[in-house]
Structure 1
Amino acid sequence: MFTPLSGTQIRQKFLDFYAARGHQILPSASLVPEDPTVLLTIAGMLPFKPIFLGQRSPEFRRATTSQKCIRTNDIENVGRTARHHTFFEMLGNFSFGDYFKEQAIAWAWELATEVFGLPPERLVVSVFEEDDEAFALWRDKIGIPAYRIQRMGEKDNFWVSGPTGPCGPCSEIYYDFHPEKGDAHIDLEDDTRFIEFYNLVFMQYNRDAEGKLTPLQNQNIDTGLGLERMAQILQQVPNNYETDLIFPIIKAAAEIAGIDYAQADESTKVSLKVIGDHVRSVVHMITDGITASNIGRGYVLRRLIRRVVRHGRLIGIEGEFTTRVAEAAIALAEAAYPNVRLKENSIKAELQREEAQFLKTLDRGEKLLAEILEREKTQVSGPDAFKLYDTYGFPVELTQEIAEEKNLTVDLEGFEAEMEKQRDRSREAHETIDLTVQGSLDTLAEHVHATEFLGYVERSATAQVAVLLVDGKSAEAAEAGTEVQIILDKTPFYAESGGQVGDRGYLSGDAVLVRVHDVKKESDFFVHFGRIERGTLQVGGTVTAQIDQACRRRAQANHSATHLLQAALRKLVDDSISQAGSLVAFDRLRFDFNCPRPLTPEEVQQVEEQVNLWVAEAHTAQIEVVPIAEAKAKGAIAMFGEKYGDQVRVLDFPGVSMELCGGTHVSNTAEIGVFKIISETGVASGVRRIEAVAGPSVLDYLNVRDRVVRDLSDRFKAKPEELTDRVTSLQNELKNTQKQLETAKAELALAKSDQLLGQAESVGTFKLLVAQLEGVDPESLKTAAERLAQKLGEGAVVLASVPEPDKVSLVAAFSPGVVKSGLQAGKFIGAIAKLCGGGGGGRPNLAQAGGRDASKLPEALAEAREQLHRSLSNAN
């Protein structure tokens, strides 16, 4: 039998094996990918995407890595299956046009059987159903019996990066945990018997927008061996979580909770596994510079931290604990990833902030659940349960437990439907490696030159139509009314970048006019998105490209204002403030920045005044293109999320601000005119957002607010300065009116109920009253039932109402003698409500319930009367 190896040993043996065969060992790339189309690094091949696309020449023909990866598309399976994770390490060997199938297969087999010592008779391989070459290599070169080579379809064994781009058949190696079951019926989808641990992708085709496959110029190899899966096999444990890669983290969480993992029930083990997996993820994400927020990868981090806290609460951990569990994860990671220990303080600070904030959020979730249970008398809806889960991090299991105490149920089908919608959104957002941002452009790239950008100095230019796309497909011409994408040989239009939106404008020529509503940059091409207003546009045609200068001026003012805003924040609030995101639109600007606390109103005012002072001082912009090292030496600040080459563009307002920026700007701060902050809010833990307007947009902003003030003044017959007092007065009047209305409703219900006293019947020594009151809300119905019970003495009262169409409200009030006889109001009225499609409950002497089918109410009341009559008769 093979020798057990630690996770560290497996990783090193893999890398050493391929290094000895001419592969360059490369470090793991960051979990924040260079590729802006992908949220997180989700595969070992992702760092090599430009090479596979032919956009960059490889420095080495062969490479091997252990790549950190994050995937969240199957997050709900984490802890519930043996090998689903959010964080995992993918061991890979790559060939960039060097060796191909035969060598890849031979080395994979040698590694598995000789280095890791896996018995050949316990290995099964799969190949693409049409890949006769791979089948023959496994059978004839390696010597695997044909019955242990499974042909599988495109879904399982044809790797694709997205709708278009490089792709190819793949071959996978599986380990058999239960060979005693025999070879008669090998089912590789039986994951209790087989585990796929090594995937060999033969990247030999390119798929175009029509789905056509054409051979690539270079045949590449892209493989992935799951470190956690190999550890499970070699360490002979039942799942990936109990390997030395994860179990020490689980053990740390169990000790904090006072739990013996070996003796724990299955639900507790699931929670511990979730904590172990997710803590590993968040430690590496924070190390790579990700901070929690409500957008993008920051949202992924926040969601993972909240799931850790939530599952800690499920297993009985009170208070903050994540930093203590993180210590175990840091200790495990530091040998392979020393930077994790260096970032220990940042990791723990981020966890502590998020956990403390979320514990408060959980408290608010509990209050919301109490409100829902008070409102819904029969069932917590799926959307409500999902809101508790997704917004407040409230476990649906805990929602169920508390609801059952109130004799309510939870619409689990509706909850799952909402969960599935979220999974779909997650898959769409995170799990596709689209190797071609636009497949048609890749097809044309060899024949079209990069777009020449003239927009820093020119506002219009004569250009030639190089590429015309209709519905994403290349076209020679397009008629009026058609939405098109156009690439020109040169353009004055700025393409969306660095937070600044793309220019708007027109392309005009002989009898043709195209309105351009957006411009984006794809690789080296400026893609103009527009609609042909008249005439016919043809490839090769000459047009005049004219930007909308009013829009450009607005964007310039807002963009330059963001630079002044950052400088003012660093000067007046904290010199360590850095940008965390931005938007520069024609009508507004948004600036996100790292700051652990909200700004005070005084600080907001001071920042606004400082920016306007710099605007009035008329600082002239100085722009130059210099080597990046020189720019950094001068103190230029880099823009968030931007990738820079060897030469960078530096925008300098001397004495005020100096940043690397490829956007369009005013030539002098005086052109901004005026700057106005609209709001300062928090968007994530440690991240604040300022929204503002500059230049002509300020006048638009003030005009809108002036119209609102004028309208309110006319409505309330008050001067603008009197509006606040007038609104406060009306709010108080409304509150008093609402109280009066509630009192009137209660008095009406009591008056109606008094008329029912004559309908009470005697059942021995008890009084019995079952009746319906029209148009009475649930609270008033309860008050009426209590009052009638008091007036009747020993007896039972059941009242019903239909306050809204298809909504039934029921109340039962029992005297002490009735309760003593064995009847309980909560159980009784809950059973009656089921006849109306609902449920409910409460105390033995007083309980409420509800239903959805008002047509069944007469039947339900008749049943209530009959049951009470029988029970009270027997009690006498």
Structure 2
Amino acid sequence: MTTSLSGQQIRQKFLDFFASKDHKALPSASLVPADPTVLLTIAGMLPFKPIFLGQQKPDFPRATTSQKCIRTNDIENVGRTARHHTFFEMLGNFSFGDYFKSQAIAYGWEVSTKVFGIKPENIVVSVFEEDDEALAIWRDEVGVNPKRIVRMGAKDNFWVSGPTGPCGPCSELYYDFKPELGDDDIDPDDDSRFIEFYNLVFMQYNRDAAGKLTPLAKQNIDTGMGLERMAQILQGVPNNYETDLIFPIIETAAKLAGIKYKKANESAKTSLKVIGDHVRAVTHLISDGVVPSNEGRGYVLRRLIRRVVRHGRLIGIEGLFTTKVAETAIKLSESQYPDVRKQADLIKAELQAEEERFLKTIERGEKLLEEVIAKTKKQISGVDAFELYDTYGFPLELTQEIAEEKGLKVDAEGFEAEMEKQRDRARSAHKSIDLTVQGSLDKLASDIEVTDFLGYTKANSKATVELLLQAGEPVDSVVAGSDVQIILDKTPFYAESGGQIGDQGYLSSGDTVVRIEDVQKESGFFIHIGRIERGSLKKGDAVTAQIDLACRRRAQANHSATHLLQAALKKLVDEKIGQAGSLVSFDRLRFDYNYNKGLTPEQLQAVEAQINTWISEAHGADIAEMAIADAKAKGATAMFGEKYGDSVRVVDFPGVSMELCGGIHVSNTAEIGVFKIISETGVAAGIRRIEAVAGPAVLEYLNVREAVVKDLSDRFKAKPEEIVDRVTAMQAELKDTQKQMAAMKAELAAAKSGDLVNQAIEIGDFKAIIAELPGADADSLKSAAETLLQKLGEGAIVLGASPAEGKVNFIAAFSKGVVGKGLQAGKVVGSVAKICGGGGGGRPNFAQAGGRDASKLAEALAEAEKLVKGGLG
């Protein structure tokens, strides 16, 4: 029998074992990787990518880690299978040209059987079908029963880094839950019997573009043991979710929903598992500095939070709840990851703000669904269903259920097609784990050196074309009209990083001119993205690289202005303010910072004035490379969540600002010219954003505003200084008019509805009012229904009205007792509206709908009376 261990004990025993074998035990890297080509940390080996590529010499020959990872390409399987997750921890041991296959296998067997106590008869080993060496080691050196060693094809047991690059066979260890079934015809793909828990990758070849395998000069070992899977095995539970790593979160969510996990149906269990998994993911993402947004890793975070909220609603959790389940996740993580506890307030603030925002979005989604149903005759399109799912959080099942009530179908195949497109996008986001620059990085690493950047001191330089790429594939030459990616041996072009966009400019050689529109950096290689405007270019050509100086100067001014902005905020608002993100482009700048409330107009004015004072004082820039310890000792400001090497670049405007930064800056603050704040807004809980312009962009900004003011002056026949008073007076007048109209409508609805109480019909122990309220709009119907229900007590209200030609509104309000009898307002009002050519829905106790055929209003209300009587009779 295996030894039962907690998740924390499993993690520590693994790390301790390999530390005893001379492996350097390292902490987990951030989920936000240092490698700009990768969206999130998706594997334990990712922090060691430069070492495996031969681009960086390791400080130690062996390492071991427990690495936090995020993957979302199989998000739909989370909660539905026993072992799919978005967040997981990968236990790993790595050798950088030190030990290889024999020793890695010996370590793998020892840690599995001796440290974790798994019996040999519970282990099945797979090897690559052509790897006779690995099979012999398992059989002859370790002593594994040959019947329990399975040869498998390249799909399962040959690890590749993409079409080209480092690769090699791997060997996987599977746990056998049913060894009593014997050793004949073992199939590791049988998930009901086996679970893969440890993968040993023998990185021994380099694959070229022709598919030829060449032995690597240094052979490496990359392994991964799933912590959650090992916990399932050792704790004897049926799936990863019921381990002590996740189950306490599930129990918290179940308690909030008022259900018991063990007694819940499969649908509720799936929702609880999704919550348990996703809450771990979002807790660590926010702790590592990610904030919800509509792009990149911020979108991954937002999507996960929304899935948590949606599944909470599906199992009946009422009100805001994400911060409560997050607290459980924080408690589970804090011993291993103390930063999670330090960031607890930020984590909860972000979750609550996003949850509140999403609940409003769901309401908008319900309205959109009503509109979709109203325009649909037979079938809701897959595109519409997917938009409801992806944008508003509506699961396909909910859309199908509501559609069925209206007699409609949903194009499930079309929905799946849209879902597959999203999966492709997700897979594309993860392809950067391939260790290649669009399929060619391995060739770059072995054939050429990383790009020599000259742009700190030069605006132009001679260079040699080292590589040409089209559509990600290497080519020998390109001609006029072609889009191309170019890698040079040296360049003055700044590559996008640190929030600053890449330079623009030209490459030229004789009659050839290449317009460079952007520059990106991947693993030390500067990729110049552009178009051949004239002539042709081939690999090996000598070119002159010239940046666009006007654009560069604008970027320099904006970047240095962000440093002054942070310094001013720290000085005038709060010393604890820190950067949470930035954007430096040619025409504007954006600065995100940690602060829990908006700045007053007076504070913004003071910050702007301080920055312009520093600009006018002409502070020179002192830029130097130094050890990070020295930079910190000098008081240089670093960005939270950013990873820095041993040597850093410090940008110092003495007496004003000193930051760690690799960007391009002015040599004197006077070069900025002038600074103007455009706006200050909140972008997430605890995160504020200032947008501003500097230098020539300020004049452009003011010219636009002047044109707007002149136009308004002409329209109002007023001087510029009189416009505000004129608009204020008009707003007050409009507001008074709207209040009067609302009051009149309410009075009219109340007067008309007062007589309806006497028309209530008795149905058993309940009373019901089903009637038309002529001329009432949706708000008036709602007010009348709420008033009538209060007067009835236990009862049902269904009201209809036609406030405008061809338009019909319905409202249904049911008491708790009526809902308890099985009647749901959403279903009743939806069926009624269908008669009038419309649709709608809502909660069991309150719902509203609309239609287009007012001539059938009486027929619809008769149907409502029939449904209510049938449900209560």
What secondary structure is seen at the aligned counterpart in 1 of 2:63? Answer: strand
* Residue in structure 1 matched with residue 657 of structure 2 by the alignment: 657
* Residue in structure 2 matched with residue 751 of structure 1 by the alignment: none
Structure-1 separation of matches of 2:810 and 2:68: 59
2:346 aligned with 1:350: yes
Give 1:255 deviation, angstroms.
3.9
- Percent of counterpart pairs with the same letter? 69
What secondary structure is seen at the aligned counterpart in 1 of 2:623? Answer: strand
What secondary structure is seen at the aligned counterpart in 2 of 1:556? Answer: helix
Question: Which whole-Å deviations, capped at 9, do the CAs of 1:176-225 have from their partners, x for residues lacking one?
Answer: 32345566654433322221112121212223455554332222221112
Q: 1:167·1:205 contact (CA, 8 Å) conserved in 2? A: yes
- Within 5 Å, which residues of 2 pair with 1:548-587? 548-587=548-587
Q: 2:370·2:839 contact (CA, 8 Å) conserved in 1? A: no
Amino acid at match of 1:496: E
2:80 aligned with 1:80: yes
- Within 5 Å, which residues of 2 pair with 1:378-397? 390=390
Q: 1:639·1:661 contact (CA, 8 Å) conserved in 2? A: no
What secondary structure is seen at the aligned counterpart in 2 of 1:587? Answer: coil
Question: Which whole-Å deviations, capped at 9, do the CAs of 1:391-440 have from their partners, x for residues lacking one?
Answer: 56566666777x48975768473665555444443333246413233553
Amino acid at match of 1:4: S
* Residue in structure 1 matched with residue 787 of structure 2 by the alignment: none
Larger displacement relative to structure 2 (582-591 or 245-254): 245-254
Return closer, same or farther for 1:721/1:376 CA change in 2, 3 Å cut-off.
farther
Structure-2 separation of matches of 1:828 and 1:500: 56
* Residue in structure 2 matched with residue 704 of structure 1 by the alignment: 704
Question: Which whole-Å deviations, capped at 9, do the CAs of 1:137-189 have from their partners, x for residues lacking one?
Answer: 44555565666444433333222334443222222222232345566654433
What secondary structure is seen at the aligned counterpart in 2 of 1:206? Answer: strand
Give 1:576 deviation, angstroms.
1.2
Q: Unaligned stretches of 5+ in structure 1?
A: 741-777, 783-797, 813-824, 868-876
Q: 2:250·2:275 contact (CA, 8 Å) conserved in 1? A: yes
Q: State the TM-score, normalizing by the size of structure 1.
A: 0.78
- Within 5 Å, which residues of 2 pair with 1:338-377? 339-340=337-338, 343-347=340-344, 349-365=345-361, 367-369=363-365, 371-372=367-368, 375=371
Return closer, same or farther for 1:412/1:242 CA change in 2, 3 Å cut-off.
farther
Structure-2 separation of matches of 1:523 and 1:240: 35
Amino acid at match of 1:200: L
* Residue in structure 2 matched with residue 461 of structure 1 by the alignment: 461
Return closer, same or farther for 1:830/1:186 CA change in 2, 3 Å cut-off.
same
Amino acid at match of 2:168: G
Structure-2 separation of matches of 1:830 and 1:328: 40
- Within 5 Å, which residues of 2 pair with 1:737-816? none
Return closer, same or farther for 1:691/1:323 CA change in 2, 3 Å cut-off.
closer
2:502 aligned with 1:502: yes
Question: Which whole-Å deviations, capped at 9, do the CAs of 1:418-471 have from their partners, x for residues lacking one?
Answer: 554444433332464132335535424455455444333333334444444455
What secondary structure is seen at the aligned counterpart in 1 of 2:555? Answer: helix
- Bigger Rg, structure 1 or 2: 1
Structure-2 separation of matches of 1:272 and 1:631: 47
Give 1:608 deviation, angstroms.
1.8
Give 1:293 deviation, angstroms.
5.0
What secondary structure is seen at the aligned counterpart in 1 of 2:175? Answer: strand
Return closer, same or farther for 1:210/1:517 CA change in 2, 3 Å cut-off.
farther
What secondary structure is seen at the aligned counterpart in 2 of 1:494? Answer: coil
Structure-2 separation of matches of 1:456 and 1:617: 24
* Residue in structure 2 matched with residue 873 of structure 1 by the alignment: none
Amino acid at match of 2:367: E
Return closer, same or farther for 1:322/1:566 CA change in 2, 3 Å cut-off.
same
* Residue in structure 1 matched with residue 128 of structure 2 by the alignment: 128
The alignment of Structure 1 onto Structure 2 pairs a total of residues equal to 805
Q: 2:405·2:830 contact (CA, 8 Å) conserved in 1? A: no
Structure-1 separation of matches of 2:615 and 2:18: 60
Structure-2 separation of matches of 1:465 and 1:416: 45
Amino acid at match of 1:657: S
Amino acid at match of 2:191: D
What secondary structure is seen at the aligned counterpart in 2 of 1:354? Answer: helix
Structure-2 separation of matches of 1:715 and 1:220: 74
Give 1:53 deviation, angstroms.
0.9
* Residue in structure 2 matched with residue 603 of structure 1 by the alignment: 603
What secondary structure is seen at the aligned counterpart in 1 of 2:433? Answer: coil
Give 1:281 deviation, angstroms.
3.1
Q: 1:199·1:224 contact (CA, 8 Å) conserved in 2? A: yes
Structure-2 separation of matches of 1:315 and 1:106: 47
Q: 2:237·2:243 contact (CA, 8 Å) conserved in 1? A: yes
Give 1:93 deviation, angstroms.
2.3
Structure-2 separation of matches of 1:182 and 1:292: 51
Return closer, same or farther for 1:595/1:397 CA change in 2, 3 Å cut-off.
farther
Structure-1 separation of matches of 2:518 and 2:182: 62
Larger displacement relative to structure 2 (432-441 or 178-187): 178-187
Q: 2:35·2:522 contact (CA, 8 Å) conserved in 1? A: no
* Residue in structure 1 matched with residue 236 of structure 2 by the alignment: 236
Give 1:553 deviation, angstroms.
1.6
What secondary structure is seen at the aligned counterpart in 1 of 2:434? Answer: coil
Q: 1:320·1:355 contact (CA, 8 Å) conserved in 2? A: no
- Within 5 Å, which residues of 2 pair with 1:2-401? 2-138=2-138, 148-179=148-179, 186-209=186-209, 211-335=211-335, 337=336, 339-340=337-338, 343-347=340-344, 349-365=345-361, 367-369=363-365, 371-372=367-368, 375=371, 390=390
What secondary structure is seen at the aligned counterpart in 2 of 1:678? Answer: strand
Structure-1 separation of matches of 2:56 and 2:826: 72
Structure-2 separation of matches of 1:595 and 1:568: 14
Q: 1:377·1:848 contact (CA, 8 Å) conserved in 2? A: no
Give 1:694 deviation, angstroms.
0.9
* Residue in structure 1 matched with residue 484 of structure 2 by the alignment: 484
Amino acid at match of 1:516: I
Q: 1:555·1:586 contact (CA, 8 Å) conserved in 2? A: yes
Question: Which whole-Å deviations, capped at 9, do the CAs of 1:340-393 have from their partners, x for residues lacking one?
Answer: 2x652531x124323432453354245425534654555787666666655565
Question: Which whole-Å deviations, capped at 9, do the CAs of 1:22-45 have from their partners, x for residues lacking one?
Answer: 444333333333322223322121
Structure-1 separation of matches of 2:431 and 2:460: 41
Larger displacement relative to structure 2 (716-725 or 249-258): 716-725
Q: State the TM-score, normalizing by the size of structure 2.
A: 0.78
Amino acid at match of 1:495: A
Give 1:833 deviation, angstroms.
9.4
2:533 aligned with 1:511: no
Q: 1:37·1:434 contact (CA, 8 Å) conserved in 2? A: no
Question: Which whole-Å deviations, capped at 9, do the CAs of 1:539-571 have from their partners, x for residues lacking one?
Answer: 554433332221122112111211111111112
